[in-house]
Amino acid sequence: QLQLQESGPGLVKPSETLSLTCTVSGASISSSSYYWGWIRQPPGKGLEWIGSIYYSGSAYYNPSLNSRVTISVDTSKNQFSLWLSSVTAADTAVYYCARQVAVAGTGLWAFDIWGQGTMVTVSS
């Protein structure tokens, strides 16, 4: 059974870089049928797509965050990671990693499997 698990610091200081890792278990991250994405949700607010990556390393980002975001993939560890630089209090949120379908007819661009989420607070 496929599972995704986020990990990383729960507290980050303003102006520093937020770093999270998503570990995929139960399936290979190197599948050609999926992207792997990050989505966040500020407390009491809606979902925001941050970006997604293919196993080949091709990454796609939300234009509003593009200048601060980097997503990478490590197929040997079955993990992908998020870096968000120059964080402020507005980046305080629950961060989810999720599998994103890359094949038409089976849920193209939908996030079909989600991690449980991890809360990251930006505060000094």
Partner 1 sequence: QSALTQPASVSGSPGQSITISCTGTSSDVGSYNLVSWYQQHPGKAPKLMIYEVTKRPSGVSNRFSGSKSGNTASLTISGLQAEDEADYYCSSYAGSTTVVFGGGTKLTVL
Residue placing its CB nearer to partner 1 in the complex, 83 or 109 = 109
Q: Figure out which of the listed residues 32, 105, 123, 124 binds partner 1, where binding follows CB under 8 A.
A: 105
- At a CB cut-off of 8 Å and minimum separation 6, what does 75 contact? 28, 29, 30, 55
Q: How far is CA 43 from the centre of its chain?
A: 17
109 binds partner 1 (CB under 8 A): yes
101 binds partner 1 (CB under 8 A): yes
83 binds partner 1 (CB under 8 A): no
63 binds partner 1 (CB under 8 A): yes
Residue placing its CB nearer to partner 1 in the complex, 78 or 101 = 101
117 binds partner 1 (CB under 8 A): yes
Reduce the DSSP state of residue 17 to 3 states and report it. coil
Residues 25-44 that bind partner 1 (CB under 8 A): 37, 39
Pick from 103, 100, 91, 118: nearest CA to 18: 91
Beta strands in the chain (DSSP E): 3-7, 11-12, 18-25, 34-41, 48-54, 59-61, 69-74, 79-84, 93-101, 111-114, 118-122
Residue 75 DSSP one-character state: T
Q: Figure out which of the listed residues 60, 75, 78, 85 binds partner 1, where binding follows CB under 8 A.
A: 60
Q: Residues in the site for partner 1, rule: CB under 8 A? A: 37, 39, 45-49, 52, 60, 62-64, 96, 101, 104-112, 114-117
